Structure 1
Amino acid sequence: MYAEERLQPLRTYQYRGIDRSPISRYVLTPYWNWAVTLFPLWMAPNLITLIGLGFMLAALGVALHYTPDLVGPGPPWVYFFYAACLWVYSTLDNVDGKQARRTKSSSPLGELFDHGCDALNCSIGGIVQTAAMGAGSSGYALIVLGITFWAFYLPTWEEYHTGVLYLGYINGPTEGILAAIGMMCLSGIYGPAIWTRTFGEQFPVYFPPSTWLHSVAIPHCAIVFFGVIFLGLYVPTCVIAVHRACRTKKQSFRVALLQLLPMGLVSAAAYIWLWSPYSTIRVRHFALFALAFGVGFGKMATKIIYAHLTKRRFPYHSGLMFPLFAGAVLINIPLIVPIAPFITPTMELVYVWAWLVFALVGYFQWSYHVINSFCNFLNISCFTLKTKSK
Structure 2
Amino acid sequence: MSLFANAWQHLSNFPFSERKAELIDSETLSHLKLYKYSSVDKSFISKYILRHYWNYCAQLMPLWLAPNVITLLGLIFIYINILCILIYVPDLVGPGPSWLYFSFAAGLWLYSTMDNIDGKQARRTGSSSPLGELFDHGIDSLNCTLGGLVETACMGLGPTRTGAFITLVSCLAMFFSTWETYHTHTLYLGYFNGPTEGIIIAVSLMIISGVFGPHIWQKTLLDILPFVSSFLPASVGNTPLRDIFVNIVALAFFSAHLPFCVYNVYEARKSRHQPFLPTLKEWVPFVWSALSVYFWLDSPYSILLSENHLVLFALATSFSFGRVTTKIILAHLTRQPFPYWTILMVPVYIAPLLFYWLPSSGITLFTGKFELLYLWFYAIFSFTYFMAWARVVINAICDYLGINCFTIKTPAKVD
Question: Do the two structures share a fold, i.e. TM-score over 0.5?
Answer: yes
Name the counterpart of 1:112: 134
Q: State whether residues 67 and 122 of structure 2, in contact with CA within 8 Å, keep that contact through their aligned partners in structure 1.
A: yes
Name the counterpart of 1:42: 64
- Taking the aligned partners of 1:389 and 1:178, their CA distance within structure 2 comes to 33
Q: CA RMSD in A?
A: 1.7
Q: How far did 1:137 drift?
A: 2.0
- Taking the aligned partners of 2:390 and 2:101, their CA distance within structure 1 comes to 32
- Taking the aligned partners of 1:154 and 1:117, their CA distance within structure 2 comes to 16
Name the counterpart of 2:41: 19
Q: In the alignment, residue 121 of structure 2 is paired with which amino acid?
A: Q
Q: How far did 1:258 drift?
A: 1.2
Pick which of 206-215 and 341-350 moved more.
206-215
Question: Structure 2: 5+ residue runs without aligned partners?
Answer: 1-22
- Taking the aligned partners of 1:270 and 1:388, their CA distance within structure 2 comes to 46
Q: State whether residues 331 and 343 of structure 1, in contact with CA within 8 Å, keep that contact through their aligned partners in structure 2.
A: yes
- Taking the aligned partners of 2:303 and 2:202, their CA distance within structure 1 comes to 29
Cα deviations by residue, 1:55-106 (Å, 9 ceiling, x for unpaired): 0000111012111111111111100000000000000100000000000100
Q: How far did 1:328 drift?
A: 1.8
1:363 and 2:386 are equivalent in the alignment: yes
Pick which of 64-73 and 373-382 moved more.
64-73
Question: Structure 1: 5+ residue runs without aligned partners?
Answer: none
Name the counterpart of 2:10: none
Which SS does the other structure have where 1:352 is aligned?
Answer: helix
- Taking the aligned partners of 1:174 and 1:360, their CA distance within structure 2 comes to 28
1:304 and 2:325 are equivalent in the alignment: no
Q: State whether residues 126 and 412 of structure 2, in contact with CA within 8 Å, keep that contact through their aligned partners in structure 1.
A: no
- Taking the aligned partners of 1:302 and 1:334, their CA distance within structure 2 comes to 33
Q: State whether residues 266 and 325 of structure 1, in contact with CA within 8 Å, keep that contact through their aligned partners in structure 2.
A: yes
Q: In the alignment, residue 140 of structure 1 is paired with which amino acid?
A: T
- Taking the aligned partners of 1:103 and 1:146, their CA distance within structure 2 comes to 36
Structure 1 residue corresponding to 2:116, chosen from 83, 94, 98 = 94
Which SS does the other structure have where 2:305 is aligned?
Answer: helix
1:198 and 2:220 are equivalent in the alignment: yes
Q: In the alignment, residue 186 of structure 1 is paired with which amino acid?
A: I
Query: 1:389–1:196: structure 2 CA closer, same or farther, 3 Å change rule?
Result: closer
- Taking the aligned partners of 1:211 and 1:2, their CA distance within structure 2 comes to 61
Name the counterpart of 1:155: 177
Q: In the alignment, residue 87 of structure 2 is paired with which amino acid?
A: H
Cα deviations by residue, 1:341-372 (Å, 9 ceiling, x for unpaired): 12111111111001100110000000000000
Structure 1 residue corresponding to 2:187, chosen from 165, 174, 178 = 165
Q: State whether residues 55 and 85 of structure 1, in contact with CA within 8 Å, keep that contact through their aligned partners in structure 2.
A: yes
Q: How far did 1:292 drift?
A: 1.0
Name the counterpart of 1:343: 366
Q: In the alignment, residue 109 of structure 2 is paired with which amino acid?
A: W
1:385 and 2:404 are equivalent in the alignment: no
Q: How far did 1:224 drift?
A: 2.6
Q: State whether residues 293 and 321 of structure 1, in contact with CA within 8 Å, keep that contact through their aligned partners in structure 2.
A: no
Q: How far did 1:144 drift?
A: 1.5
Name the counterpart of 1:216: 239
- Taking the aligned partners of 1:53 and 1:86, their CA distance within structure 2 comes to 9
Q: State whether residues 199 and 207 of structure 1, in contact with CA within 8 Å, keep that contact through their aligned partners in structure 2.
A: no
Q: In the alignment, residue 263 of structure 1 is paired with which amino acid?
A: F
Name the counterpart of 1:325: 349
Which SS does the other structure have where 1:385 is aligned?
Answer: coil
- Taking the aligned partners of 1:237 and 1:129, their CA distance within structure 2 comes to 25
Name the counterpart of 2:17: none
Cα deviations by residue, 1:212-235 (Å, 9 ceiling, x for unpaired): 364232123222322222221111
Q: State whether residues 23 and 174 of structure 1, in contact with CA within 8 Å, keep that contact through their aligned partners in structure 2.
A: yes
Name the counterpart of 1:290: 314
Structure 1 residue corresponding to 2:104, chosen from 42, 67, 82 = 82
1:315 and 2:339 are equivalent in the alignment: yes
Name the counterpart of 2:270: 247
Which SS does the other structure have where 2:306 is aligned?
Answer: helix
Which SS does the other structure have where 2:410 is aligned?
Answer: coil
After TM superposition, which residue ranges in structure 1, 4 or more long, deviate above 6 angstroms? none
